[in-house]
Amino acid sequence: MALEVGIVGLPLVGKSTIFNALTCGHAETAGYGRADKPNIGVVRIPDERLKTLNQYIETKKILPATIQVIDVAGLARGASTGEGLGNKFLANIRDMDAILHVVRCFESDQVPHPDGTIDPVRDIDTVETELILADLESVSNSLDRAKRAAKSGEKDAMARAELLEKAYQKLNESRPVRELMLSPEQKKLIKSMGLLTAKKTLFVANVGEDDVHGADAKVQAARKRAESEGGVLVAVCGKLEAEIAQLPEADRTEMLQAMDLKEPALAVLARAAYHLLGLHSFLTAGP
């Protein structure tokens, strides 16, 4: 089963632009462009070692690792209580392995921000609050049943009740479940619960073409906010990367050099995602 990463964020932050840049056009047509259906694409992970290896051990095909990326509708404020697409949105990301949280850091008169100003820290807090509230409702609904089941003294039931109690306390402090210190067994159990804030999160600052390296104060504030909960933030110019992704491979290097970029954002994001999730690549070669 392919690793699944869900792109989330408020409306008009550039999620679909980032999605297009990442997938380079490798999007499944079912649901593409429809607000009520998630866009699904396959991301091919860049790895220069594959070309090097093929120089010494030739193969008929070079097949890079892939990640399935799912772009769901923008998360409206109040989604946890049913605003916007509400529960449909939240249901789409419950089964994903990790979250790519896109936050807007670019100015544009043509694309007004729903709140009137660009404030990435506020936007991160808005989305995180919605996810925390959704998890709090889910955990609250499960906790009483779990406590009753734990009275039987059955080991698994007691472990579930204990973990739900820990999650409830953390969420009640308006903090994500991923901040809990858990044993390997508890991590496996919490994953089965489908809690949104238990998932690893990579924050993506969608910057303008005048700040491709993310040096702006707003980006730095967002990075500090992400790091406050052990997260990682990567700056990406979605508009520019989407344009680069459409170019023939031979022209991409020239475009990157012109914009003072060493590599496409996909490579940067892939490394950050692999590190975040503790993933490693194992290479095979031969006939």
Q: What mean pLDDT value characterizes the chain?
A: 84
Residue 164 included in any domain:
no
Residue 158 included in any domain:
no
Residue 193 included in any domain:
no
Residue 137 included in any domain:
no
Answer whether 262's CB lies under 8 Å from 256's CB. Answer: yes
Give the best-scoring range by mean pLDDT among 58-62, 133-137, 165-169: 165-169
Mean pLDDT of 53-66: 88
Nearest-CA neighbor of 91 among 18, 37, 19, 171?
37
Its pTM stands at: 0.84
Please give the tally of structural domains in the chain.
Answer: 1
Residue 244 included in any domain:
yes
More confident residue, 34 or 198: 198
Provide the edge-to-edge strand list for the sheet that holds 200-206: 39-44, 66-71, 4-8, 98-104, 200-206, 232-236
Residue 285 included in any domain:
no
Distances (CA, A) of 169 to 143, 162, 164: 11, 11, 9
**Tens-place pLDDT, residues 257-283:** 787 777 777 778 877 877 777 788 888
Query: What is the distance between the alpha carbons of residues 99 and 263, in angstroms, rounded to a whole number?
Result: 23
Residue 144 included in any domain:
no
For residue 114, give the CATH number of its domain: 3.40.50.300
Query: What is the distance between the alpha carbons of residues 38 and 127, in angstroms, rounded to a whole number?
Result: 18
**Tens-place pLDDT, residues 184-196:** 999 999 988 989 9
Give the best-scoring range by mean pLDDT among 46-60, 87-101, 113-127, 158-172: 158-172
Structure tokens at 163: 């973990």
Mean pLDDT of 28-38: 51
What residue numbers bound the domain in which 67 lies?
4-120+200-277
Give the DSSP per-residue string, 151-180. Answer: TT--HHHHHHHHHHHHHHHHHHTT--GGGS
Residue 102 included in any domain:
yes
